[in-house]
Structure 1
């Protein structure tokens, strides 16, 4: 039988309204839901915050039996289960953090047929004992979350996911859905093939997150000061994530931000389990906390009101960048993705790849890193470049929500400057990195220059009309244009690509970007919620009501209602339970459970 929370003879739109509190489906959702209800399969590529989970949660409620959801992340499983229970759905999770008695109780519910949805880790679902349990139960559907983990071309490949293809063999009649936010074309095809599905099962809902502003800046010597300037200018309040490459850098940055007056905590694999859990729990419940983290943090974080994601070090690929920046603005409100980078970061990442065996996988990773570097150096609309990487064409010439659109970079005729760089690399025998080339061009008198006799070269001091920072920018752009290659085996030595010959001969002109010193303008006022005044005061009062209810139930506040629902209360001012029911995200159960408390708060205000 379908779930008790589903009205008899209900249609998908009825369940969407009564359980989830939404009047309309988002693009692709209804098609995917109906496909699963008809017993067919689906692979869904949908942006973070685009409604992937509803694509399997809703049909699981309408089909006979229990929906089995495979997820690699305990935090995400627990978060989704808590949110479903708030809506009156019978949901549970089985994970390693539970006691034996707790796991057995859920397993009994599974067999008895009293669960609507059950979340498990990939390692557990493939165990023979759990397979026997599934065969004793009625399985409504199989959902595989974070499905890019299946593919070796994905940015977060996990070997244990490979076995999930056996589920299709073990349950051939059960509809299967695999969902992820990030998968380029090769990764998409790999998922389809590994799960033995047909191409018509693939749904790509698009990758654009229009509410996110993308900004990339060249990293200066004190990148933390650049970060703080960005935070003070665009996000003086609000929760966010700052990514760093190393544990040491995480600790230092969190401590430094705290000293500057921002509430910040570190998160990395070197902390104890208790510390990581405490910092993550604090982040989920706080409205104004910055987590400084390695990539160990973020997957499974369902917090909708993260206002910014900043990278002090470059991620490994554009897929990783897209996945990590997608943790901002899941509520659809304005959010920022800010990144500082330098050529040395790219070189270090290439060298890290080369530490492994040279094969198709490593070559593919080099190509992905080159694509990331091209994104950083591009003068085009960031959104156009990012979506183009995922084979999606942005329908407009500009997005007006990235640094390159808001402040188009000025270009200049840089052929002569390019020739100086190329000539200097040739005369230094293509054995030195960008910093040394910039030193030679500016006429520096370093020990290294004297040791190699480079102070006697014709190119020594030929570029003393520009600062070293400008020459490093020119070198980065020439690398991005493919005129210069970076020798990873030679510790980042710059080498000439054959394509540079026409430039050296003066046959091909080179346009270069002139960096802008002006900060990116803040978000337009009409896209932001009021920061003061009566409306803000009412919103804060409603947020206090939500916080008290969340504390009493020991759940994150957003599990009760997103900020968007609270703002709808501010705008609509419901006076009756019927009015309250019509707010987005309410639904039948939340109307009964929370309507009186929020109506009282509105009346008191």
Structure 2
């Protein structure tokens, strides 16, 4: 699609707005988009932080349509480039990509289109910019801008680090007159500084949108029986919904995927150790099918543009708040109610502490990882609003209570846990000083409960003065005490065997100089939203219009299958919902629906009107 031609009286704002309406079918920009777009169109560099689903891609797609030349998008998501390009072509945008999945003839065709000025957008993997032939190609063509997507990949100790991103700092030296826009969905102030430094964007204007995703409900609960907890969550709240379940290990993804499938929830595993063809097939199914669950390691999800992911579940404690936010943000991109659900337990804390102590990097790196984990634990154990704490982590103020997280909907109590804390710490002291022994949390709880199991008998721990002094709490409650002592830094984990040891702060508690307030987990409340069965009809759609919506969905599904693209490439649910509500009777009326640009109107308009006539 050729960019709009300025008449001399039109402003950049008008050109950008025309492109938004004509190509994408939206009447107005979202908050923050227009200012970013105008800045880049005018030739300015930008560092953009905008939440997943906030409309980041338009911030470089529209400038690529308006500026002369081709917008070059650097993205690590090779497996998704075909879908990204298909979605743009469905809008009438001339898009292409160059990566290692293509054969020589395919690459030559795209290169010829670029040199002839026949592409609006060209997607490249970062490693291709290390190839001299690619640099020469860009030199011979006209580049409108460089968009560096998933810019947090340049953060060297981040959760998605990509070494090839470090080479992108040279873009400005090679093409000094081409504006650059780096985009990411999450970054603390420290990560923003690292992105700006490593990408040579120190002089770039920074745009930071709100990180709040009010449609996502955040819930965290203690892990007791992870399989059954997950199954109950899916059956009671998300039956038939598409979603992502995150695990830390590859073996866990396969175990949980098999368990869900055996229990009537269609699920597939995804991890780096799978056969590449199987991995690609599972990703493709997730994008193209309704209601499929992917059980994955954190290698899955970045760049996934599926709008109707209704939940993201974590069965292991994430290593950082940034990682947690990035992963939960893959739910509810369409703005409809979605859930971020996490179950975590004492073993998660112990295992992550051991991983940190044995990780690569210097002492400062390990301290950084420890701070990340501490912040994640603080989020899990807070008695305050989770959303407020999450936003505060990213340096943004928030309302005291959001009304859409578990601590707001079912507030936990706090209790004075000083005496139980002293009992745990005293047990650690006596094992260490009297027996020169160290043990993990489970054994310490057994001692406090007075359990005469084989291990207790073997080491003669019945004779310890602390044996059996903890009868006032149940085992699960003691494990919660230990978990919160670790979260508050009043005990820690020795890396070699995962044994509990004291910290400098432990002495204050043992002496009685420090009160220890703990979180009491509330009794499990009913889900805060309606059941999955009640949510079958789309949000804000009257029941009498649901059949029309389902007919439109069926048409969309058949059309998507015929074209070999995900259903959302045809139309999003929100667009179908508006069509079902408005019931347009002409192409002109249909063209006024949000999300229907000129190309889609010409391509699908008559078919949609025929579906409505049949309805």
User: Any stretches of 5+ residues in structure 1 without a counterpart?
Assistant: none
Which residue of the partner structure matches residue 457 of structure 1? 464
In the alignment, the residues of structure 2 paired with residue 322 and residue 174 of structure 1 have an alpha-carbon distance, to the nearest angstrom, of: 32
Note the 1:110-125 alignment, pairs <5 A. Answer: 110-125=114-129
Which residue of the partner structure matches residue 469 of structure 1? 476
In the alignment, the residues of structure 2 paired with residue 518 and residue 44 of structure 1 have an alpha-carbon distance, to the nearest angstrom, of: 40
Q: Which moved more, 1:426-435 or 1:207-216?
A: 426-435
Which residue of the partner structure matches residue 582 of structure 2? 572
Identify if the C-alpha distance between structure 1 residues 215 and 582 changes in structure 2 by more than 3 Å, giving closer, same or farther.
same
Q: Cα deviations across residues 524-558 of structure 1 (Å, max 9, x unaligned)?
A: 69996279943221111000111122122111110
Which residue of the partner structure matches residue 442 of structure 2? 435
Q: Cα deviations across residues 504-534 of structure 1 (Å, max 9, x unaligned)?
A: 3334332222112223523269996279943
Which residue of the partner structure matches residue 229 of structure 2? 226
In the alignment, the residues of structure 1 paired with residue 386 and residue 139 of structure 2 have an alpha-carbon distance, to the nearest angstrom, of: 49
Give yes or no for the alignment of 1:593 onto 2:593: no
Could you tell me how far 1:502 is from its partner in structure 2?
A: 3.5
In the alignment, the residues of structure 2 paired with residue 414 and residue 369 of structure 1 have an alpha-carbon distance, to the nearest angstrom, of: 23
In the alignment, the residues of structure 1 paired with residue 128 and residue 407 of structure 2 have an alpha-carbon distance, to the nearest angstrom, of: 46
For the residue of structure 1 that corresponds to 2:343, the secondary structure is: strand
Could you tell me how far 1:79 is from its partner in structure 2?
A: 2.1
In the alignment, the residues of structure 1 paired with residue 419 and residue 214 of structure 2 have an alpha-carbon distance, to the nearest angstrom, of: 39
In the alignment, the residues of structure 1 paired with residue 30 and residue 429 of structure 2 have an alpha-carbon distance, to the nearest angstrom, of: 56
Could you tell me how far 1:315 is from its partner in structure 2?
A: 2.3
Is the 1:254–1:264 contact (alpha carbons within 8 Å) kept by the matching residues of 2?
yes
Tell me the TM-score normalized by structure 1.
0.95
Give yes or no for the alignment of 1:562 onto 2:590: no
Could you tell me how far 1:196 is from its partner in structure 2?
A: 2.1
In the alignment, the residues of structure 1 paired with residue 504 and residue 129 of structure 2 have an alpha-carbon distance, to the nearest angstrom, of: 53
Could you tell me how far 1:587 is from its partner in structure 2?
A: 1.2
For the residue of structure 1 that corresponds to 2:473, the secondary structure is: coil
For the residue of structure 2 that corresponds to 1:52, the secondary structure is: coil
Is the 2:3–2:68 contact (alpha carbons within 8 Å) kept by the matching residues of 1?
no
Which residue of the partner structure matches residue 157 of structure 1? 161
Identify if the C-alpha distance between structure 1 residues 281 and 572 changes in structure 2 by more than 3 Å, giving closer, same or farther.
same
Q: How many residues in Structure 1 have an aligned counterpart in Structure 2? A: 601
For the residue of structure 1 that corresponds to 2:201, the secondary structure is: coil
Q: Equivalent of 1:400, from 399, 403, 423?
A: 403
For the residue of structure 1 that corresponds to 2:258, the secondary structure is: helix
Q: Cα deviations across residues 478-507 of structure 1 (Å, max 9, x unaligned)?
A: 221222222224x22222223233333334
Tell me the TM-score normalized by structure 2.
0.94
For the residue of structure 2 that corresponds to 1:428, the secondary structure is: helix
Is the 2:64–2:121 contact (alpha carbons within 8 Å) kept by the matching residues of 1?
yes
Which residue of the partner structure matches residue 421 of structure 1? 424
Which residue of the partner structure matches residue 211 of structure 1? 215
In the alignment, the residues of structure 2 paired with residue 540 and residue 464 of structure 1 have an alpha-carbon distance, to the nearest angstrom, of: 57
In the alignment, the residues of structure 2 paired with residue 446 and residue 7 of structure 1 have an alpha-carbon distance, to the nearest angstrom, of: 82
Give yes or no for the alignment of 1:519 onto 2:525: yes
Which residue of the partner structure matches residue 3 of structure 1? 2
Q: Cα deviations across residues 365-401 of structure 1 (Å, max 9, x unaligned)?
A: 221122112211222211112112212221x111111
Identify if the C-alpha distance between structure 1 residues 217 and 6 changes in structure 2 by more than 3 Å, giving closer, same or farther.
farther
In the alignment, the residues of structure 2 paired with residue 6 and residue 271 of structure 1 have an alpha-carbon distance, to the nearest angstrom, of: 49
Could you tell me how far 1:597 is from its partner in structure 2?
A: 1.0
Could you tell me how far 1:211 is from its partner in structure 2?
A: 0.8
Q: Equivalent of 2:89, from 72, 85, 88?
A: 85
Q: Cα deviations across residues 46-86 of structure 1 (Å, max 9, x unaligned)?
A: 10000111000000100000000000112332222111111
Q: Which moved more, 1:579-588 or 1:270-279?
A: 270-279
Which residue of the partner structure matches residue 494 of structure 1? 500
Which residue of the partner structure matches residue 148 of structure 1? 152
In the alignment, the residues of structure 2 paired with residue 106 and residue 117 of structure 1 have an alpha-carbon distance, to the nearest angstrom, of: 11
In the alignment, the residues of structure 1 paired with residue 268 and residue 181 of structure 2 have an alpha-carbon distance, to the nearest angstrom, of: 37
Give yes or no for the alignment of 1:169 onto 2:173: yes
Q: Which moved more, 1:581-590 or 1:501-510?
A: 501-510
Could you tell me how far 1:98 is from its partner in structure 2?
A: 0.9
Could you tell me how far 1:4 is from its partner in structure 2?
A: 4.4
Which residue of the partner structure matches residue 324 of structure 1? 327
Could you tell me how far 1:199 is from its partner in structure 2?
A: 5.2
Which residue of the partner structure matches residue 17 of structure 1? 21
Is the 1:5–1:88 contact (alpha carbons within 8 Å) kept by the matching residues of 2?
no
Which residue of the partner structure matches residue 346 of structure 1? 349
Which residue of the partner structure matches residue 132 of structure 2? 128
Could you tell me how far 1:345 is from its partner in structure 2?
A: 1.4
Give yes or no for the alignment of 1:293 onto 2:296: yes
In the alignment, the residues of structure 1 paired with residue 281 and residue 568 of structure 2 have an alpha-carbon distance, to the nearest angstrom, of: 18
For the residue of structure 2 that corresponds to 1:11, the secondary structure is: helix
In the alignment, the residues of structure 2 paired with residue 359 and residue 412 of structure 1 have an alpha-carbon distance, to the nearest angstrom, of: 36
Q: Cα deviations across residues 70-119 of structure 1 (Å, max 9, x unaligned)?
A: 00112332222111111111000111111100001101111111110000
In the alignment, the residues of structure 2 paired with residue 442 and residue 189 of structure 1 have an alpha-carbon distance, to the nearest angstrom, of: 50
Identify if the C-alpha distance between structure 1 residues 195 and 576 changes in structure 2 by more than 3 Å, giving closer, same or farther.
same
